[in-house]
Amino acid sequence: MTIRSPIVLLHTDAPEAARAIVAGAHPDLTVHTCDSYADLPAMLTETGAEVVYSVRFAGTPGFPRAALLDSGTLRWISVGGSGTDHLAPWDPEWVTVTNAAGAAADMMAEYALGAMLAFSLDLRGFARAQAERRWTAGRVTPIEGRTLLILGLGQTGQAVARRARAMGMTVLGVRARPQPTNHVDEVHGMEALPALWPRADFVLVSVPLLPSTRGLVGTDAFAAMKPGAVLIDVSRGGVCDEPALIAALQDGPLKGAALDVFATEPLPADHPLWAMENVILTPHCSSVYDGWAEKSVAMFAENLDRYRRGAALHNIVDPERGY
Protein backbone atom coordinates (compact mmCIF):
# COMPACT_ATOMS: atom_id res chain seq x y z
CA MET A 1 0.00 0.00 0.00
CA THR A 2 1.32 3.44 -0.94
CA ILE A 3 1.21 5.97 1.87
CA ARG A 4 0.86 9.50 0.56
CA SER A 5 2.79 12.41 2.08
CA PRO A 6 0.74 15.52 1.33
CA ILE A 7 1.80 19.03 2.26
CA VAL A 8 -0.43 20.03 5.20
CA LEU A 9 -1.31 23.54 6.37
CA LEU A 10 -3.13 24.22 9.63
CA HIS A 11 -5.13 27.48 9.53
CA THR A 12 -6.12 28.16 13.13
CA ASP A 13 -5.67 30.69 15.92
CA ALA A 14 -4.02 28.00 18.09
CA PRO A 15 -1.45 26.69 15.59
CA GLU A 16 1.13 25.14 17.91
CA ALA A 17 -1.41 23.08 19.84
CA ALA A 18 -2.87 21.86 16.55
CA ARG A 19 0.58 21.10 15.14
CA ALA A 20 1.44 19.01 18.21
CA ILE A 21 -1.63 16.81 17.73
CA VAL A 22 -1.10 16.32 14.00
CA ALA A 23 2.65 15.75 14.39
CA GLY A 24 1.99 13.19 17.09
CA ALA A 25 -0.20 11.19 14.71
CA HIS A 26 1.89 11.85 11.58
CA PRO A 27 5.51 12.42 12.67
CA ASP A 28 6.84 11.93 9.14
CA LEU A 29 4.91 14.89 7.68
CA THR A 30 6.04 18.48 7.50
CA VAL A 31 3.17 20.55 8.88
CA HIS A 32 2.87 24.29 8.18
CA THR A 33 0.73 26.72 10.16
CA CYS A 34 -1.02 30.05 9.61
CA ASP A 35 -2.82 32.02 12.30
CA SER A 36 -4.37 34.88 10.31
CA TYR A 37 -6.79 35.43 7.47
CA ALA A 38 -4.53 37.97 5.77
CA ASP A 39 -1.51 35.67 5.56
CA LEU A 40 -3.29 32.58 4.26
CA PRO A 41 -3.10 33.37 0.50
CA ALA A 42 0.65 33.79 0.64
CA MET A 43 1.07 30.68 2.79
CA LEU A 44 -0.90 28.60 0.31
CA THR A 45 1.30 29.81 -2.53
CA GLU A 46 4.52 29.42 -0.55
CA THR A 47 3.81 25.90 0.72
CA GLY A 48 1.82 24.45 -2.19
CA ALA A 49 -0.43 22.84 0.39
CA GLU A 50 -2.57 19.93 -0.74
CA VAL A 51 -4.49 19.66 2.55
CA VAL A 52 -5.71 22.50 4.77
CA TYR A 53 -7.33 22.25 8.18
CA SER A 54 -9.19 25.55 8.58
CA VAL A 55 -11.06 27.17 11.46
CA ARG A 56 -13.27 30.22 10.95
CA PHE A 57 -11.72 31.79 14.05
CA ALA A 58 -12.32 35.46 13.23
CA GLY A 59 -15.84 35.22 11.83
CA THR A 60 -17.07 35.09 8.26
CA PRO A 61 -16.32 38.67 7.08
CA GLY A 62 -12.84 38.67 5.62
CA PHE A 63 -12.51 34.88 5.59
CA PRO A 64 -10.09 34.02 2.72
CA ARG A 65 -12.51 31.80 0.82
CA ALA A 66 -11.18 32.72 -2.63
CA ALA A 67 -7.61 31.90 -1.66
CA LEU A 68 -8.66 28.40 -0.64
CA LEU A 69 -10.95 27.63 -3.55
CA ASP A 70 -8.70 29.19 -6.18
CA SER A 71 -5.58 27.38 -5.00
CA GLY A 72 -4.03 25.31 -7.74
CA THR A 73 -2.69 22.70 -5.32
CA LEU A 74 -5.38 22.31 -2.66
CA ARG A 75 -7.43 19.11 -2.88
CA TRP A 76 -8.96 18.77 0.61
CA ILE A 77 -10.26 21.41 3.02
CA SER A 78 -11.02 20.06 6.49
CA VAL A 79 -13.27 22.57 8.23
CA GLY A 80 -12.64 22.67 11.97
CA GLY A 81 -16.30 23.28 12.80
CA SER A 82 -19.56 21.94 11.41
CA GLY A 83 -20.76 24.85 9.24
CA THR A 84 -19.43 25.20 5.72
CA ASP A 85 -21.59 28.07 4.42
CA HIS A 86 -18.51 30.35 4.45
CA LEU A 87 -17.01 28.19 1.68
CA ALA A 88 -20.09 27.55 -0.45
CA PRO A 89 -20.34 27.07 -3.29
CA TRP A 90 -17.43 24.84 -4.28
CA ASP A 91 -16.86 22.24 -6.98
CA PRO A 92 -16.62 18.79 -5.32
CA GLU A 93 -14.90 17.47 -8.44
CA TRP A 94 -12.00 19.83 -7.74
CA VAL A 95 -11.83 20.04 -3.95
CA THR A 96 -13.22 17.86 -1.17
CA VAL A 97 -14.62 19.59 1.91
CA THR A 98 -15.12 17.76 5.19
CA ASN A 99 -16.26 19.09 8.54
CA ALA A 100 -15.97 18.24 12.23
CA ALA A 101 -19.64 17.35 12.69
CA GLY A 102 -20.08 15.62 16.02
CA ALA A 103 -17.17 17.27 17.80
CA ALA A 104 -19.53 19.62 19.63
CA ALA A 105 -22.87 17.81 19.28
CA ASP A 106 -23.13 16.82 22.94
CA MET A 107 -22.18 20.29 24.16
CA MET A 108 -24.71 21.94 21.87
CA ALA A 109 -27.34 19.48 23.09
CA GLU A 110 -26.63 20.52 26.68
CA TYR A 111 -26.98 24.15 25.61
CA ALA A 112 -30.38 23.41 24.07
CA LEU A 113 -31.56 21.46 27.11
CA GLY A 114 -30.32 24.21 29.41
CA ALA A 115 -32.22 26.80 27.39
CA MET A 116 -35.45 24.81 27.62
CA LEU A 117 -35.03 24.42 31.37
CA ALA A 118 -34.17 28.09 31.84
CA PHE A 119 -37.49 29.11 30.32
CA SER A 120 -39.61 26.37 31.89
CA LEU A 121 -38.18 27.20 35.33
CA ASP A 122 -38.29 30.97 34.69
CA LEU A 123 -34.73 31.33 35.92
CA ARG A 124 -34.39 34.82 34.42
CA GLY A 125 -37.53 35.96 36.23
CA PHE A 126 -36.26 34.60 39.53
CA ALA A 127 -32.87 36.26 38.93
CA ARG A 128 -34.58 39.63 38.46
CA ALA A 129 -36.59 39.12 41.65
CA GLN A 130 -33.44 38.17 43.53
CA ALA A 131 -31.63 41.29 42.31
CA GLU A 132 -34.57 43.33 43.65
CA ARG A 133 -34.69 41.31 46.92
CA ARG A 134 -38.32 40.59 46.09
CA TRP A 135 -40.06 37.43 47.33
CA THR A 136 -42.47 36.19 44.66
CA ALA A 137 -45.22 33.61 44.41
CA GLY A 138 -42.86 31.28 42.56
CA ARG A 139 -44.05 28.81 39.96
CA VAL A 140 -42.12 26.43 37.71
CA THR A 141 -43.23 24.33 34.76
CA PRO A 142 -42.03 20.84 33.82
CA ILE A 143 -40.72 20.04 30.35
CA GLU A 144 -41.89 16.45 30.80
CA GLY A 145 -44.86 15.92 28.51
CA ARG A 146 -43.98 18.93 26.34
CA THR A 147 -43.29 18.72 22.62
CA LEU A 148 -39.98 19.61 20.99
CA LEU A 149 -39.71 20.24 17.25
CA ILE A 150 -36.17 19.83 15.89
CA LEU A 151 -35.29 21.36 12.53
CA GLY A 152 -32.36 19.30 11.31
CA LEU A 153 -31.62 15.81 12.59
CA GLY A 154 -27.88 15.78 12.15
CA GLN A 155 -25.59 14.80 14.99
CA THR A 156 -26.56 17.81 17.09
CA GLY A 157 -30.29 17.34 16.49
CA GLN A 158 -30.04 13.67 17.39
CA ALA A 159 -28.05 14.43 20.54
CA VAL A 160 -30.79 16.86 21.63
CA ALA A 161 -33.49 14.31 20.79
CA ARG A 162 -31.82 11.71 23.00
CA ARG A 163 -31.79 14.05 25.98
CA ALA A 164 -35.30 15.34 25.36
CA ARG A 165 -36.74 11.84 25.27
CA ALA A 166 -34.91 11.02 28.51
CA MET A 167 -36.70 14.03 30.05
CA GLY A 168 -40.07 12.67 28.97
CA MET A 169 -40.66 14.97 26.01
CA THR A 170 -42.35 14.17 22.71
CA VAL A 171 -39.88 14.77 19.89
CA LEU A 172 -40.83 15.77 16.36
CA GLY A 173 -38.14 16.20 13.71
CA VAL A 174 -37.72 17.36 10.15
CA ARG A 175 -34.90 16.47 7.80
CA ALA A 176 -34.28 16.76 4.09
CA ARG A 177 -34.53 13.01 3.64
CA PRO A 178 -36.99 11.68 6.22
CA GLN A 179 -36.16 8.31 7.75
CA PRO A 180 -36.75 6.67 11.14
CA THR A 181 -34.41 8.26 13.67
CA ASN A 182 -33.59 7.07 17.17
CA HIS A 183 -35.32 9.02 19.97
CA VAL A 184 -37.57 10.89 17.53
CA ASP A 185 -41.28 10.09 17.68
CA GLU A 186 -42.11 11.47 14.24
CA VAL A 187 -39.80 12.33 11.34
CA HIS A 188 -41.10 14.52 8.52
CA GLY A 189 -39.82 16.36 5.49
CA MET A 190 -39.53 20.14 5.48
CA GLU A 191 -42.83 20.41 3.60
CA ALA A 192 -44.63 19.28 6.79
CA LEU A 193 -43.54 22.32 8.81
CA PRO A 194 -46.81 24.30 8.46
CA ALA A 195 -48.62 21.51 10.31
CA LEU A 196 -45.83 21.03 12.87
CA TRP A 197 -45.32 24.62 14.08
CA PRO A 198 -48.59 24.69 16.11
CA ARG A 199 -47.73 21.43 17.90
CA ALA A 200 -44.40 22.51 19.39
CA ASP A 201 -43.73 23.97 22.84
CA PHE A 202 -40.05 24.31 21.95
CA VAL A 203 -38.50 24.71 18.49
CA LEU A 204 -34.81 23.93 18.00
CA VAL A 205 -33.21 25.27 14.82
CA SER A 206 -30.22 23.14 13.85
CA VAL A 207 -30.00 23.19 10.05
CA PRO A 208 -27.17 24.46 7.81
CA LEU A 209 -27.51 27.81 6.10
CA LEU A 210 -28.40 27.11 2.46
CA PRO A 211 -30.46 28.95 -0.15
CA SER A 212 -33.28 26.58 0.80
CA THR A 213 -33.04 27.31 4.53
CA ARG A 214 -32.36 31.06 4.48
CA GLY A 215 -35.37 32.71 6.13
CA LEU A 216 -36.90 29.29 6.83
CA VAL A 217 -38.19 30.47 10.20
CA GLY A 218 -40.00 33.67 9.27
CA THR A 219 -43.27 35.53 9.58
CA ASP A 220 -45.48 32.64 8.51
CA ALA A 221 -43.71 30.21 10.82
CA PHE A 222 -43.99 32.48 13.86
CA ALA A 223 -47.65 33.19 13.12
CA ALA A 224 -48.34 29.45 13.14
CA MET A 225 -46.50 28.70 16.39
CA LYS A 226 -48.26 27.87 19.62
CA PRO A 227 -48.70 30.81 22.02
CA GLY A 228 -45.97 30.53 24.65
CA ALA A 229 -43.56 28.60 22.42
CA VAL A 230 -39.80 29.01 22.90
CA LEU A 231 -37.31 29.17 20.02
CA ILE A 232 -33.72 27.93 20.37
CA ASP A 233 -31.38 28.75 17.48
CA VAL A 234 -27.96 27.09 17.21
CA SER A 235 -27.86 26.95 13.41
CA ARG A 236 -26.49 29.92 11.45
CA GLY A 237 -27.53 33.53 11.26
CA GLY A 238 -29.96 33.89 8.39
CA VAL A 239 -32.03 30.76 8.96
CA CYS A 240 -34.28 32.77 11.26
CA ASP A 241 -35.66 36.04 9.92
CA GLU A 242 -34.54 38.44 12.67
CA PRO A 243 -37.14 41.22 12.11
CA ALA A 244 -39.90 38.59 12.15
CA LEU A 245 -38.37 37.02 15.25
CA ILE A 246 -38.29 40.35 17.09
CA ALA A 247 -41.92 40.99 16.20
CA ALA A 248 -42.87 37.53 17.46
CA LEU A 249 -41.03 38.15 20.74
CA GLN A 250 -42.63 41.56 21.23
CA ASP A 251 -46.19 40.84 20.17
CA GLY A 252 -46.47 37.06 20.43
CA PRO A 253 -46.69 34.21 20.06
CA LEU A 254 -43.19 33.52 21.38
CA LYS A 255 -42.63 33.34 25.12
CA GLY A 256 -38.91 33.68 24.56
CA ALA A 257 -35.85 32.67 22.58
CA ALA A 258 -32.34 31.41 23.23
CA LEU A 259 -30.14 32.70 20.41
CA ASP A 260 -26.55 31.71 19.73
CA VAL A 261 -26.33 32.84 16.10
CA PHE A 262 -27.14 36.09 14.34
CA ALA A 263 -27.25 37.57 10.85
CA THR A 264 -24.43 39.95 11.81
CA GLU A 265 -21.71 38.79 14.18
CA PRO A 266 -20.58 40.29 16.47
CA LEU A 267 -24.12 41.50 17.15
CA PRO A 268 -24.13 45.34 16.90
CA ALA A 269 -24.38 47.08 20.26
CA ASP A 270 -27.54 48.91 19.21
CA HIS A 271 -29.38 45.77 18.10
CA PRO A 272 -32.80 45.48 19.80
CA LEU A 273 -32.23 41.86 20.82
CA TRP A 274 -29.73 42.97 23.48
CA ALA A 275 -32.44 44.70 25.51
CA MET A 276 -35.16 42.04 25.31
CA GLU A 277 -35.82 40.43 28.69
CA ASN A 278 -37.31 37.31 27.12
CA VAL A 279 -34.14 36.56 25.14
CA ILE A 280 -31.10 34.55 26.21
CA LEU A 281 -28.31 35.85 24.00
CA THR A 282 -24.94 34.11 23.68
CA PRO A 283 -22.02 34.97 21.36
CA HIS A 284 -22.02 31.96 19.00
CA CYS A 285 -20.45 29.80 21.68
CA SER A 286 -22.80 26.82 22.10
CA SER A 287 -20.12 24.61 20.53
CA VAL A 288 -17.16 26.12 22.38
CA TYR A 289 -15.93 24.20 25.41
CA ASP A 290 -12.61 23.20 26.95
CA GLY A 291 -11.21 20.49 24.73
CA TRP A 292 -13.29 21.27 21.64
CA ALA A 293 -10.36 22.46 19.54
CA GLU A 294 -8.27 19.43 20.48
CA LYS A 295 -11.12 17.06 19.60
CA SER A 296 -11.62 18.75 16.24
CA VAL A 297 -7.92 18.53 15.33
CA ALA A 298 -7.79 14.91 16.50
CA MET A 299 -10.70 14.12 14.16
CA PHE A 300 -8.74 15.77 11.34
CA ALA A 301 -5.62 13.74 12.20
CA GLU A 302 -7.65 10.51 12.03
CA ASN A 303 -9.15 11.55 8.69
CA LEU A 304 -5.68 12.48 7.44
CA ASP A 305 -4.61 8.90 8.03
CA ARG A 306 -7.47 7.79 5.77
CA TYR A 307 -6.49 10.36 3.16
CA ARG A 308 -2.89 9.15 3.13
CA ARG A 309 -4.01 5.54 2.68
CA GLY A 310 -6.44 6.43 -0.10
CA ALA A 311 -9.47 5.43 1.98
CA ALA A 312 -12.81 7.27 1.92
CA LEU A 313 -12.88 10.32 4.14
CA HIS A 314 -15.34 10.77 6.98
CA ASN A 315 -17.75 13.74 7.09
CA ILE A 316 -17.57 14.72 3.42
CA VAL A 317 -19.90 17.67 2.88
CA ASP A 318 -22.21 17.85 -0.12
CA PRO A 319 -22.19 21.54 -1.20
CA GLU A 320 -25.83 21.29 -2.28
CA ARG A 321 -27.05 19.84 1.02
CA GLY A 322 -24.64 21.67 3.34
CA TYR A 323 -23.75 18.54 5.31
- CA separation for the pair 20, 27 (Å, rounded): 10
DSSP H helices, 38-96, are 40-47, 65-69
**Averaged pLDDT score across all residues of the chain:** 96
Active-site annotation holds for 144: no
Which member of 110, 186, 265, 294 is catalytic?
Answer: 265
Report the predicted TM-score, pTM, of the whole model to 2 decimal places: 0.91
Active-site annotation holds for 26: no
Which member of 186, 284, 294, 314 is catalytic?
Answer: 284
Question: Looking at residue 1, what is its pLDDT?
Answer: 66
Cis status of the peptide bond prior to 89, with omega within 30 of 0: yes
Rg over CA atoms, the chain: 21
Q: Which domains does the chain have, with CATH numbers?
A: 8-103+290-309 (3.40.50.720), 105-281 (3.40.50.720)
Question: Looking at residue 320, what is its pLDDT?
Answer: 86
Active-site annotation holds for 265: yes
Is there a contact between 106 and 159 (Cβ–Cβ < 8 Å)? yes
Chain segment 78-110, per-residue pLDDT in tens = 999 988 999 999 999 999 999 999 999 999 999
Is there a contact between 308 and 31 (Cβ–Cβ < 8 Å)? no
Is there a contact between 262 and 237 (Cβ–Cβ < 8 Å)? yes
Nearest 5°: the CA angle 22, 27, 33 is: 45
Chain segment 156-171, per-residue pLDDT in tens = 999 999 999 999 999 9
Chain segment 16-47, per-residue pLDDT in tens = 999 999 999 999 999 999 999 999 999 999 99
Which member of 56, 86, 236, 308 is catalytic?
Answer: 236
